[in-house]
Amino acid sequence: MRNDTTADIVIAGAGIGGLTAALALHARGITATILESAAQLRPLGVGINIQPAAVAELTALGLGDAMAATGIPTREHRYVDHKGVTLWVEPRGVAAGYRCPQYSIHRGELQTLLLNAVRERLGDHAIRTGVRLQDLEQTRGAVRVHAHDRARGADVVFEAAALIGADGLHSVVRSCLHPEHGALNGAGVVMWRGLTELDGFLDGRTMILANDERATRLIAYPISARHAARGEALLNWVLLARTGAPGPVDGAGWDVPGQLADILPHVADWDLGWLDVRDVFERSALILRYPMIDREPLERWGLGRVTLLGDAAHLMYPIGANGASQAVLDAAALAAELSCGGDVPAALERYENERRPATTAIILANRRMDHAERTTSTRPADDKAVELATITAEYRAVVERRGPTS
């Protein structure tokens, strides 16, 4: 077993949260080493949204221009029925009075943007790929991270002042800290996701949220500035349909190719008019299928010199489009607390005291909004606009605590 003396902080996971944490720490003079279990980091995934508060943090890290050159500054959310009739329109980003946009962006491209910044600023040595965390132990003055380096075929030990578990849904760090709290809650909803190239999509800056009376939902929005510059749209789409009862799920068979034949029956009577939904699905180069899940909020995240960040800490329904944004806000808060100096466990406790109540509230708000939107889909058309306005206002009151110009 080899002992590697590493940086001030070890971060498990090179996803959006882990990479942002490394950049935020570096900006405050704190070095970090990222351990990533994947042998190669590739731009995987489909579209996500980064909310204005998180965009502000990434802009402060010098990434504003890169995001603008990559993503789409979403102008509005347009709620429609399955016949294409507009029910409610909600302004977003700058159009809603925020200083920063809401960006719709390819997850893999955002991760690559962050990865390149980490390598440029911290050096290639800051990211150790093919290294899977196995266990951890704490001493009075450090945390020892036991891992396996697949490239060398050897077990290694990293020692640091703190360990940050940003290792996602299947977090090893979370399992070490909370072995009894790993259950995944399914909403009884299957999500099919894909990307389709179109000649254009509305004004190029609109997200649609379409519902039918069975509460089948289609969310679709453009995510590529490069496509937009050519007068085209790279459309990210998500179809959500209830296929069972809510309850525990085991996570087997996720991120597998979905089947077009499974999707089409859910939209057989849809006709948006300005968008051929069937054509969008048929032309998608890849269809992914997985359940909509979250976890019960933890009563505490970390212990001593170890804590959690992002999905490892607060897995939430994608309703509300806040998962990646909350990971970015976690990273900024973590760096701010650690930069104060002094006792590391105390800094991690302050970080958790700031972020855990906020993200717990969002987990619960996402559940409420999911239920409310499903209930609204069965109501008469004249009632839907008022109810959607109320639902979105109540959600913003929970999530956007900093006010309309943050």
pLDDT tens for the chain, 406 residues: list them. Answer: 344 444 589 999 999 999 999 999 999 999 999 999 998 888 888 999 999 999 999 999 999 999 999 999 999 999 999 999 999 999 999 999 999 999 999 999 999 999 999 999 999 999 999 999 999 999 989 999 999 999 889 999 999 999 999 999 999 999 999 999 889 999 999 999 999 999 999 999 999 999 999 999 999 999 999 999 999 999 999 999 998 888 888 766 566 789 999 999 999 999 999 999 999 999 998 899 999 999 999 999 999 999 999 999 999 999 989 999 999 999 999 999 999 988 999 999 999 999 999 999 999 999 999 999 988 888 877 788 889 999 999 998 998 774 333 3
CB 406 within 8 A of CB 56: yes
CATH of the domain at 370: 3.50.50.60
At 405 the pLDDT is 34
At 212 the pLDDT is 94
- 3-state secondary structure (DSSP) of residue 42: coil
Residue that the structure tokens 């309703």 belong to: 319
At 249 the pLDDT is 86
Total number of domains in the chain? 1
At 250 the pLDDT is 78
CB 162 within 8 A of CB 306: yes
- Interatomic CA distance for residues 238 and 47, integer angstroms: 9
- Interatomic CA distance for residues 169 and 172, integer angstroms: 9
Residues 6+ apart with CB under 8 A from 290: 190, 191, 254, 255, 256
Q: Is residue 130 assigned to a domain?
A: yes
Q: Is residue 375 assigned to a domain?
A: yes
Q: Is residue 387 assigned to a domain?
A: yes
Q: Is residue 173 assigned to a domain?
A: yes
The pTM is what?
A: 0.95
Helix (H) or strand (E) holding 354: helix 344-377
At 5 the pLDDT is 45
Task: For the chain, report the end-to-end CA distance as a whole number of angstroms.
Answer: 49
Q: Is residue 58 assigned to a domain?
A: yes
- Interatomic CA distance for residues 8 and 206, integer angstroms: 43
Q: Is residue 257 assigned to a domain?
A: no
Describe the crossing of helices 16-27 and 107-122 by its angle, rounded to 10 degrees. Answer: 30
Q: What is residue 171's DSSP assignment?
A: -
Three state DSSP letters for 88-138: EEEECHHHHCCCCCEEEEEHHHHHHHHHHHHHHHHCHHHEEECEEEEEEEE
At 213 the pLDDT is 92
**Token pair of 231 as six digits:** 């007068």
| Structural domain boundaries enclosing 78 | 2-182+296-399
- At 194, the amino acid letter reads G
Q: Is residue 370 assigned to a domain?
A: yes
- Interatomic CA distance for residues 299 and 360, integer angstroms: 9
Q: Is residue 301 assigned to a domain?
A: yes
